[in-house]
Amino acid sequence: MKKKTSAKKSPSKSISKTTIASRVDVGFGNNLYIRGQGGGLSWDVGTLMKNVSPYEWVWESKTATQTIEYKLIINDELWANGENQFASAEGTSISAPTFDW
């Protein structure tokens, strides 16, 4: 007779994420991108944000371990007005950027 062994489960570590949300109308047919430093972002190439409603865009990172510095850009060409924004690792940042069209 074989002895049954039970596998012990190691405590699972929950995956934390950093969320950056933007509430802005970028116009029909346009997209909102994010550039920055931290969480896999780059200042050289924008990352397309996910459009979750007509006026809301979201980007998430599961790799951020430090504060993220970022800026939003329409069509990866037109930069948002003002200074760079910051988001804490494992936190949520919500902004309403303005653009000069």
Q: Could you report the per-residue pLDDT of 31-88, keeping only the tens digit for each?
A: 999 999 999 999 999 999 999 999 999 999 999 999 999 999 999 999 999 999 999 9
- For residue 16, the 8-state DSSP code is P
Predicted TM-score (pTM) of this structure: 0.84
CATH fold label, 18-94: Immunoglobulin-like (2.60.40)
Give the closest residue to 35 by CA, choosing from 90, 79, 89.
79
**CA distances in angstroms from 35 to 24, 32, 52, 75, listed in the order given:** 17, 10, 19, 12
CA distance 77 to 70: 15
Q: Is 70 exposed, middle or buried (0-12, 13-18, 19+ CB in 10 A)?
A: buried
- 88's CB contacts (< 8 A; 6+ apart) are 18, 67
Domain definitions of the chain by residue range:
18-94
